Structure 1
Amino acid sequence: MRGIARLAAGAIALCAIGGGAFWFLTAPVRLDTSEIAALRTGDATRGERIFWAGGCASCHARPKAEGDAKLELAGGMEFKTPFGTFVGPNISQDERDGIGAWSEEDFANAVMRGVSPSGEHLYPAFPYTSYARMKPEDVADLYAFMKTLPAVSGKAPDHSLAFPFNIRRGIGLWKRLYLTTEPVVALDGTASEPAVLGRYLVEGPGHCGECHTPREMTGAARTSQWLAGATAAEGDGIVPNITSGEGGIGDWSEDDIVNYLETGFTPDYDSVGGSMVEVQRNMAKLTPEDRAAIAAYLKAVSPHPNGYPPRKTAAE
């Protein structure tokens, strides 16, 4: 009996130790004091540029919103993924149903660390793995612009996720593996200023890799195939390869890329389609210099073959 009691006590102790370790390792990590100090007072005019680069309205406006209604960030758009259905929340300035009561620090922690004001992990369907690479001052500018937008009442529906994906605390372990502020592409000292700016826009606020890069089983971007194209998160479509590798945009010039981002037309006069329509409209609101920088960066990215499985034709 004593042996059984000792085994039971040992098992309880191991469980307690394991539970404590899990709780410690999954704890939300917020911005440190130096990062908070770097936020400063934002500028709404500069923040509008970041708003469009970040595609905020594409996920947080009401479904099918057009015109000025796209600035009413009431949420409600559904994103059906293998992990469940995520719903874009209300991020309008409503103090009860949106984020109107959030401080600048609250906002920055959500954007750059995926941590809510209440200390919950946010799901990485919100692309903070990319936004983590943003400059604090740009986040401050974005916050200032968001404060100029209307308050819209009404909470968006909750996410619909099955176990274990509905356990937010576990995201802390995922973040330890995949959340980094380091650039994906290491540009050497000879890289042009536009290419460096383009890396920031693409890897940070633009979060292009979130759709254009294949994913691991864990849902993390497979950075060894950065921007090589991927199976779409929703449905059975594909997101194209935007490197210069086979199947990509190697035959596009920088001017071709710039024109596509501005007008939505490819070099062979096809037009943008699918979910890229919203992205291209956002890119068209950036400066010509920003679009040129994105093009310079894409031409500097290592070429990769298509990152999605070959598609069978009807004849096959």
Structure 2
Amino acid sequence: MIRKVLSFLPFLAVAGLALFWWLTVPGRIDSARLGGLAGDPARGEQVFWAAGCASCHAAPESQGEARMVLAGGMAFPSPFGTFYAPNISPDPDRGIGGWTVADLANAMLHGTSPEGAHYYPAFPYTSYARAELQDIADLHAFLATLPASETTSRAHDVSFPFNIRRSLGGWKLLFSRPAWVTEATSPEITRGRYLVEALGHCGECHTPRNTLGGLDYTRWLQGAPTADGKGRTPAITPDKLDWSANDIAAYLATGFTPEYDVAGGHMTEVVQNLAHLPETDLKAIAAYLKTLPGGG
């Protein structure tokens, strides 16, 4: 009996490996969904600022126009290792100058590289998965207008077992949630939800995570430890952030709080980005935040 069971073990191992391989295949967009899309770089610039691309992909400590050179290099320490933002400038060899709209869509919607590998979720594709294809096409058109950089992207410092990229397919099955987190009850709140839950990826910092790094959607935007474990990102639910909608919109535009304090830390970058958006978008973000249930 034992010998018979043992004879099945190789078969079970192969079947298990095949099932794992099938379940963890990197996702790709159906190319038919991209038919007829033409990117508009002017609209793409607004997507660029809403998505905060320069905050992560500009070279560390760059200022002014240098922030538009998306050479990468910023470090993101985490319990799983240190990740480094890649070069996403239009350089065809070291950046993403050779990418198609489909390549960018696969990266943002599925966390899949042009070579068919999983990206680490330090790149917030779990939020970008809610982005509209037209916005991705517009962003692709705008990125092509930026200065190219020949800087080589730095390899992530990630040890076993987190360096097994194929296992990220299992992580995505568990924690990737492209559905909206909240309901929207008006066009303004729908726009605010899109900016917060998708392009702005606010939940990536303001929502707690479980031990495997997945967002805890039951505590949406209720504050969380920073990824490096050295601080805490505040809650922005109405029970903790009691500013008026006008106060929130003004803060996002200027960085000044109602108490005449100023934004600090990473929010400085966020304000620099959001200040480029029209006032209607900032008011939509504020309206959305005011609809959230209070935290526990």
TM-score of Structure 1 vs Structure 2, range by shorter chain = over 0.9
Corresponding residue for residue 24 of structure 2: 26
- Say which of 201, 205, 214 aligns to 1:207: 201
| Aligned-partner Cα distance in 1 for 2:65–2:206 | 28
For the Cα contact (< 8 Å) 2:109–2:126, is it kept in 1? yes
Q: Which amino acid aligns with 1:12?
A: P
- The AA in structure 2 aligned to 1:229 is G
Q: Quote the offset at 1:80 in angstroms.
A: 0.6
Is it true that 1:95 corresponds to 2:89 in the alignment? Answer: no
Corresponding letter in the other structure for 1:280: V
Matched residue type, 1:284: A
Equivalent residue, structure 2, for 1:243: 237
1:217 aligns with 2:211: yes
> Which consecutive residues of structure 1, in runs of 5 or more, have no partner in the other structure?
306-316
- The offset of 1:62, in angstroms, is 0.3
Amino acid of the structure 1 residue aligned with 2:170 = L
- CA distance, structure 1, for counterparts of residue 16 and residue 107 of structure 2: 28
Structure 2 counterpart of 1:147, from 144, 148, 151: 144
SS in 2 for 1:196: helix
Displacement after TM superposition at 1:23 (Å):
0.5
Paired with 2:27 and 2:7, the residues of 1 have a C-alpha distance of 33
Q: How far 1:234 moved relative to its partner?
A: 1.8
1:161 is paired with a residue of what secondary structure?
Answer: coil
Q: Distance in 2 between matches of 1:151 and 1:183?
A: 35
CA drift at 1:34: 4.5
Q: Distance in 2 between matches of 1:303 and 1:33?
A: 41
1:86 partner SS: strand
Percent identity, aligned pairs only, is 50
Task: Show the counterpart of 1:78.
Answer: 75
The residue type paired with residue 266 of structure 1 is: T
Distance 2:9 2:179 in 1: 41
Residue matched to 2:250: 259
Measured in 2, the distance between the counterparts of 1:36 and 1:254 equals 37
Checking the alignment, whether the CA contact within 8 Å between 2:31 and 2:102 is kept in structure 1 is no
Does the aligned pair in 1 maintain the 2:118–2:166 contact within 8 Å? yes
1:34 and 1:228 map into 2 onto residues whose CA distance is 39
Matched with 2:10 is 12
Quote the offset at 1:113 in angstroms: 0.8
| TM, length-normalised to structure 2 | 0.97
1:240 Cα deviation after fit: 0.5
Aligned partner of 1:176 in structure 2 is 173
SS in 1 for 2:199: coil
Cα deviations across residues 171-218 of structure 1 (Å, max 9, x unaligned)? Answer: 11111122232100123xxx2221110000000000000000000111
TM score, norm. by length of structure 1 = 0.91
**3-state SS of the aligned residue for 1:76?**
coil
**Counterpart-to-counterpart distance in 2, 1:14 and 1:193:** 53
What residue number does 2:101 align with? 104
C-alpha distance in structure 2 between counterparts of 1:156 and 1:30, whole Å: 23
2:287: which partner in 1? 296
Q: Which residue of structure 1 aligns with residue 163 of structure 2? A: 166
Cα distance in 2 for residues equivalent to 1:231 and 1:154: 32
Structure 1 counterpart of 2:66, which letter? A
Question: In 1, are the aligned partners of 2:225 and 2:231 still within 8 Å (CA)?
Answer: yes
- Give 1:151 deviation, angstroms: 1.2
* Unaligned 5+ runs, structure 2: none
1:265 alignment partner AA: F
Equivalent in the alignment of 2:127: 130
